[in-house]
Structures are given as structure tokens and as C-alpha cells.
């Protein structure tokens, strides 16, 4: 029987901030990471080591890693797309490498200018770099539940790519709904097929965007399928600069709130998390989409409930 312990990785400092308008200071990024850690988030995607020409908002990722005060029990992670970036991330102090790969050929070309087969070769090179320092690797598979360029993605393609990633030595696979096309029934179709293929050889997790308002419903579907690892983003920040219409990720505080109400253990202090979301909202000078940030927890003011 699956555990009631759920692990949340907040991708806000990377996935959330890479697509916001204007410049976010290094100090504000450091403060965001530290606020997440203090709220009990045990995995944080701090930044990415990609070409600053492609994603200029992440150019200061080495400085962010250098600036944070680390907390015991927290994994500070980084997105990479090639071996050179992997080495830079490790040198900066990343505890885990998050590898981006698409199941859609068109999205792969738009994102990393490689075919899926070529991207897999790069994954192998990244894993080889990581193995020198025993740094674990997690692969985020994008466009799993649909692609804005190709439409429907067959589950068999997701299963095949997941198998290839496991065979290359990737220890975790995050199935990503990059453009918010998933519905719960899609989760119930795809997740069991991937689990049947990879078994316990790697951890399977889910990454949802709330583009069409179904992210929380999809999290519930994932929980019912035994998934206990989810990517979220503080305040509902996020998007993808290479996928038109890919609005924000599911908000960390909304998922943490759901988990608490449903009896799952995320290890997160929801009040501190909401404060962290308010802090980055103020720093950005923008209204974030999180509803829990607006309304607070259900039991606010009713502690005996």
C-alpha cells in the first residue's frame, strides 16, 4: 500500500521565475529559496544551467546557489540540458540534476534543437558526468499529455521514452503536463502504463500546469494511482518560453493545502508557505494566481476545526 508521505519539489525559483516579465534580483531569488526551505519544502529547483541567450532570467543561477544558506534535509536542485551544464551545476553545488527531455519531436526541436533520439544521447552524457560525483538525476518528460505543436501524444511513446531513461541510469521520471492539456482520465491511462514498464527501477512523479484549471484534479488522480512525488511552484508561478499558452504550474500552497485536508503528510508548514508566496508576490509586484494565497487555509481562524 502506498505511503501517505508525499514529496513536493518546488520548481518556482527556476520554472516559475524563468518566464516572468522584468528582472528578478539574485537577492530575491535567494530569499525565495530560503523561505521555501524554512516552510518545510524538502526539494527545491534553485535554477538552471542553460544558455543565458535562451533563458536570460537564469543567468545568475551560480550566484543564487552561492548565496543561499542551506538547511539540513533539503535538496537544492538544478535544471540542465547538456553535459557542460551538468558540470557547471555540480560545481555550483547542485544536489541533484533535473534533465529536460520532450516526448514530442517538435517540442524537442523548439526547446533544445535536438530530436528525441539526440536528446537521449545528451541524457547519457549528463548521467555520465553526474556519476563521477554520485549526483542523482531526475528527468522531466515534457508534453506527456499533449503537445501544442503535435496534439495527442500516444501513451506508448511515453512508456518507451521512460524505459530508455531508466536504462540510461535516471533515477526519477517526472511526467510533465507542459501545456495543461491533461484531465484526470489521462492520468489514469498514462501513469499505470509507465509504472507497469519501469516498476521500482525509478521513482515516478508528476508535474502539472494549471492552464485549464484541472491541475488539482490531476494531482488527486495521481495520488489515487499511487504517485507520491509532485512538482509545484510557489504562488502558481510558471510557464514555458518554448510552448505557447503554457501558463503557471500548480501552486505549491494549493497542493500542500489539499494534501493536509486529505490526510497526506508533506512535512510543510502551510502558514509559512503562504507567507513565502506573499513575499515573492511583493518582490515581483504582480498578483499571483494562487487561490490559497488569496483566501488562506480552510481552517484559518477556526483552529478547532
At 40-56, the pLDDT tens digits run: 999 999 999 998 888 89
Record the cell numbers describing residue 23, joined without a space. 528582472
Mean pLDDT of the residues in the chain: 92
Question: What are the pLDDT digits (tens) for 287-299?
Answer: 898 999 998 888 7
Class of domain 7-295: alpha beta
The backbone torsions φ and ψ at residue 67, rounded to the nearest 5 degrees and listed phi first, read -90, -20
pLDDT higher than 70, residue 243 = no
Residue 240 known to be catalytic: yes
Please state the pTM of the whole predicted model.
0.94
- Indicate which residue of 98, 137, 147, 240 is catalytic: 240
Lowest mean pLDDT among 121-125, 171-175, 242-246: 242-246
pLDDT at 234: 96
**Phi and psi angles of residue 209, each rounded to the nearest 5 degrees, phi first:** -105, 150
pLDDT recorded at residue 130: 98
> Is 50 exceeded by the pLDDT of residue 305?
no
Separation CA 106–CA 101 (nearest Å): 12
Amino acid at each position: 500500500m502506498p505511503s501517505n508521505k508525499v514529496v513536493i519539489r518546488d520548481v518556482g525559483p527556476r520554472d516559475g521565475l524563468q518566464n516572468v516579465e522584468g528582472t528578478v534580483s539574485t537577492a530575491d531569488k535567494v530569499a525565495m529559496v530560503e523561505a521555501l526551505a524554512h516552510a518545510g519544502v524538502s526539494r527545491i529547483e534553485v535554477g538552471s544551467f542553460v544558455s543565458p541567450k535562451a533563458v536570460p532570467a537564469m543567468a545568475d543561477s551560480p550566484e543564487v546557489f552561492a548565496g543561499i544558506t542551506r538547511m539540513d534535509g533539503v535538496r537544492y536542485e538544478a535544471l540542465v540540458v547538456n553535459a557542460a551544464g551538468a558540470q557547471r551545476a555540480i560545481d555550483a553545488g547542485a544536489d541533484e540534476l533535473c534533465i529536460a527531455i520532450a516526448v514530442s519531436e517538435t517540442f524537442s526541436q523548439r526547446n533544445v534543437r535536438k530530436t528525441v533520439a539526440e536528446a537521449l544521447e545528451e541524457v547519457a552524457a549528463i548521467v555520465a558526468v553526474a556519476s563521477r560525483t554520485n549526483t542523482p538525476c531526475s528527468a522531466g518528460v515534457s508534453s506527456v499529455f499533449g503537445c501544442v505543436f503535435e496534439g495527442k501524444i500516444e501513451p506508448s511513446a511515453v512508456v518507451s521514452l521512460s524505459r530508455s531513461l531508466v536504462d540510461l541510469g535516471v533515477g526519477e521520471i517526472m511526467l510533465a503536463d507542459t501545456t495543461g492539456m491533461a484531465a484526470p482520465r489521462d492520468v489514469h491511462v498514462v501513469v499505470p502504463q509507465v509504472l507497469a514498464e519501469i516498476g521500482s527501477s525509478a521513482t515516478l512523479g508528476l508535474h502539472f500546469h494549471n492552464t485549464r484549471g484541472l491541475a488539482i484534479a490531476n494531482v488527486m488522480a495521481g495520488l489515487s494511482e499511487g504517485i507520491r512525488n509532485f512538482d509545484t511552484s510557489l504562488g502558481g508561478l510558471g510557464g514555458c518560453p518554448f510552448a505557447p499558452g503554457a501558463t503557471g504550474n500548480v501552486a505549491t500552497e494549493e497542493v500542500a493545502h489539499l494534501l493536509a485536508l486529505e490526510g497526506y503528510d508533506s512535512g510543510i508548514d502551510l502558514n509559512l508557505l503562504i507567507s513565502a508566496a506573499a513575499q515573492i508576490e511583493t518582490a515581483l509586484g504582480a498578483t499571483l494566481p494562487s487561490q490559497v494565497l488569496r483566501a488562506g487555509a480552510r481552517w484559518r481562524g477556526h483552529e478547532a476545526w
